[in-house]
Structure 1
């Protein structure tokens, strides 16, 4: 499958695709077949087939999509591509695969961390670790979080990578929330592997639990849904607690990276105002947005 990925990238390169160029229509014609081909390919794999793949094969398949998401296309060209009728029609298939990949990938990672050995060495050996670390460094820059801050993370998943790395980089204490009982069980075991039980708490439930938890800053995972309900509840909790200046940080997808997941819309964050936006660099997927309650 590695050869397929190389060939895929080589085909894009041979056209001299340079991102947002003067002939956006021509660029769309070059890129569209690759997106449609990936959509057709991924339709061959149902959830069971994806879970049966080895971690290496699963990751190589992911890289085919990752190359498309990280093309150097400007905002105009990216919007043109993702709004093309045929491409728009296959986006749900592609985005569903992206969500499934990460749910499987995190379970694989958790299982590796449970094995004997140094969990940090295992964690850092995973191909996506550099992205996690870069994302959290961006996160720290985005809202200036420092030691002593307690972060609440909505949608922490089976491996709360963000919370583990934040604690490693800056001693940030945190509480992770997830509605999945299985994800919470795995996440709690992962925390014990790292010996961070006194630094990171994992609880089962949705964002409404924040009304009774201790936290300073809220982080909303890119895949935590439904966003409209989450932000509605956050708005209510912040108002009831009289915490109008508390930061709510959320992750979204912009440019070509929006091929991976539906971006957070202004309608979903109604009642909040955007304080700052940090665009991703390199192979990081998420744009980081800092918000506060609207005045």
Structure 2
């Protein structure tokens, strides 16, 4: 078995990831109300966001201890992100009138940069959109709202969680001039996508394969954007695995590239 000589950067990422995992197991409150969670997750995301050679990233991802905890760690990170979104959604409910009122949100700049990157890639694939759906909107619908601002299209938000649906719907309803939106509580794998020429699927949505199949069944002419991750960012999210799209034949027509400011990459698909 080949012995790997770890660099200082690799060792730091591995140790930080494992230490953060232990803390997430110990702490009961994974929301921003817990200063310990704020500190360790900020440090982890900052470290993983720094540029890293793909080969070095693969070595870390294949590290025995990392592989043994990564699945559980992703579950904990999902809980922490959901708690964070709920926390800020409750803060913004009743206090925002326009999209710019979200500027105080910790990751506002990251969201704007992500959407800008996605729109630039989308323009290479699709000229315009009349109506789009965003699956897995969550309680803080910044992504679909920013997309709507850029696309000028009718927007439908989908989420299966009752609290996310309730908070997100309340936030959208209180925005001035917001008349072209709909918020629906439904499983994305059961929805009818016939009216949408564009469908976005959030990175935390677990049943992406089933949703893609449903989109194909109800609207094979739609363009689908699925948020994924590459390289070392797989320590934070599960990447899209196109080999699981066994029941539909689709082709990748575009892809964004993550950087130190944007964690997600976004893959654009059309059906053959």
Instruction: Specify the TM-score bucket, using the shorter chain as the normaliser.
Output: 0.7 to 0.9
Q: Which residue number corresponds to residue 103 of structure 2?
A: 124
Question: 1-side partners of 2:91 and 2:261: how far apart?
Answer: 23
8 Å contact from structure 1 (residues 24, 77) kept in 2:
no
Question: 2-side partners of 1:186 and 1:249: how far apart?
Answer: 24
Q: Which residue number corresponds to residue 14 of structure 1?
A: none
Structure 2 CA distance for partners of 1:196 and 1:254, relative to 1, 3 Å: farther
Equivalent in 248, 251, 255 of residue 231 of structure 2:
255
Question: 2-side partners of 1:208 and 1:92: how far apart?
Answer: 23
Question: Gaps spanning 5+ residues in structure 2: where?
Answer: none
Task: Tell me, yes or no, if structure 1 residue 235 matches structure 2 residue 211.
Answer: no
TM-score for the superposition, normalised by structure 2: 0.87
Task: Tell me, yes or no, if structure 1 residue 291 matches structure 2 residue 269.
Answer: yes
Three-state SS of the structure 1 residue aligned to 2:196 is coil
Task: Tell me, yes or no, if structure 1 residue 33 matches structure 2 residue 15.
Answer: yes
Deviations 1:145-202 (A, max 9, x none): 6775311111111111111112334423210111112211111101012135412211
TM-score for the superposition, normalised by structure 1: 0.81
Equivalent in 167, 179, 184 of residue 186 of structure 1:
167
Equivalent in 252, 259, 268 of residue 274 of structure 1:
252
Question: Gaps spanning 5+ residues in structure 1: where?
Answer: 1-22
Question: 2-side partners of 1:255 and 1:67: how far apart?
Answer: 15
Mean CA deviation greater in 73-82 or 23-32: 23-32
Structure 2 CA distance for partners of 1:189 and 1:247, relative to 1, 3 Å: same
Task: Tell me, yes or no, if structure 1 residue 106 matches structure 2 residue 85.
Answer: yes
Q: Which residue number corresponds to residue 93 of structure 1?
A: 72
Aligned residues: 264
Q: Which residue number corresponds to residue 62 of structure 2?
A: 83
- How far the C-alpha of 1:56 sits from its partner, in A, is 6.2
Structure 2 CA distance for partners of 1:25 and 1:264, relative to 1, 3 Å: same
Three-state SS of the structure 1 residue aligned to 2:156 is strand
Q: Which has the higher helix share?
A: 1
Question: 2-side partners of 1:89 and 1:56: how far apart?
Answer: 27
Three-state SS of the structure 2 residue aligned to 1:25 is coil
Three-state SS of the structure 2 residue aligned to 1:219 is strand
- How far the C-alpha of 1:58 sits from its partner, in A, is 4.4
Structure 2 CA distance for partners of 1:212 and 1:238, relative to 1, 3 Å: closer
Question: 2-side partners of 1:205 and 1:115: how far apart?
Answer: 25
- How far the C-alpha of 1:292 sits from its partner, in A, is 0.9
Question: 2-side partners of 1:203 and 1:263: how far apart?
Answer: 26
Task: Tell me, yes or no, if structure 1 residue 139 matches structure 2 residue 118.
Answer: yes
Q: Find runs of 4+ consecutive structure 1 residues off by over 6 angstroms.
A: none
Task: Tell me, yes or no, if structure 1 residue 157 matches structure 2 residue 135.
Answer: no
Three-state SS of the structure 1 residue aligned to 2:30 is helix
